[in-house]
Amino acid sequence: MNFKFSESEEAFREELKSWLNTELAARPGSDSNPDSEWAFNLEMRRKLAEKGWLTMAWPEEYGGQSASHMMQVIFAEEMSYNNAPGRDVFGTKMMAPTLMIHGTEDQKQQFLPPVSRGDVQWCQGYSEPESGSDLASLQTRAIEDGDDFVVNGTKVWTSGAHRADHIMVLTRTDPDAPKHRGISFLLCDMNTPGITVNPIINMAGDHSFNMVTFEDVRIPKKNLVGEQNRGWYVGATLLDFERSGVDYSAGAKRTLEELVEFAKTNSKNGVLLANDPVTRNRLSDLAIEVEVSKLISYNIAWMQGQGLVPNKEASMGKVLGTELQQHVSETGMHMLGMHGQLEPGSKHAPLEGKVEHMYLTDVSQTIQAGTSEIQRNIIATRGLGLPRG
């Protein structure tokens, strides 16, 4: 791959940076309620959609600009670096590219344009109370009844379900088949009768996760993506797209830069942090990790631009990116000392409590979307050709 961006790509990066600086100036403060933050998120999404930036690498017939995947990765990188709201990663990054591979033309025409216009929010119904890393053991059932599937079961850790308009659901349609076989991939309207969403508050006090219960929920058979009982392979394609991305390194880079500036003006045990050899070494190592994670993500985007679906590469990016985020927040907590435990909103919290919040939320990064152990198994078997244990 070419490690340099073209002039047009660099020009787009500068345009995006300038636009974000202007738009984010109107962002609600940290003490805003979740509804105000969500309203601003939707406003940003509408503006991004009007510019065509949400889905610029998509084919034009589905609402894209047929731009290069590298343009799309620049967009994702700058959005993550600036912690800018407005994207529906479940729709743009996960559902849509999966549908372009496995969906029918009618499904693409129905579900893709609303995502490109920023009209809808998607969520992902994969994990269950008894099925996490061993996702193929899921027990949510879908039984055929006329033109519908009738779905019963429970999904858990469903991010954004309380805001979502649609959900992607993995269900078991053949209970007698081997566990990786009798699974189907369905698209469902969240307003369908029988769906209940209950919040799960994480230890940082955020409401992102939810439990979603399906009770005799009717999903039209036309919303089946791919072959019936072969949905595991559709779901695995989506996971490869979910695990890909430059968001990990971009967000970590921004926090790392803030920690470097903090080190230049703050002392610990009478020594300026910037002069402390342990701190300097940690920050240097993190700068290297950020760069490696970023280049892996660039390579993944290049592969997607060649029409490839990254598999082991996506797992490499996910392992390194999520562990990088944990390394940044752990280093930050060491640097900030006792005051680093103060939550956002405290007037004494260094860096406005960002590192404390990051430290708590990053615990789940190496678990969600497939644990680091799962990713390393994929790298070992599909990347290095090692035998299964």
Which residue numbers are catalytic?
Answer: 242
CA distances for 314 relative to 71, 242, 243, 245, angstroms: 19, 8, 5, 8
Could you tell me which residues are beta bridge partners of residue 154? 213
CA distances for 110 relative to 57, 90, 104, 132, 138, angstroms: 19, 16, 10, 30, 28
Angle among Cα 93, 204, 252 to the nearest 5 degrees reads 50
Identify the DSSP state of 128.
B
Q: Residue with structure tokens 């959005």?
A: 79
**Spacing of C-alpha 210 from chain mean position:** 16
Residue 325: which of 365, 275, 268, 270 has the closest Cα? Answer: 365
Residue 311: which of 373, 365, 380, 389 has the closest Cα? Answer: 380
DSSP string covering 183-194: EEEEEEETTSTT
Helix 34-51 × helix 7-23 angle, to 10°: 150
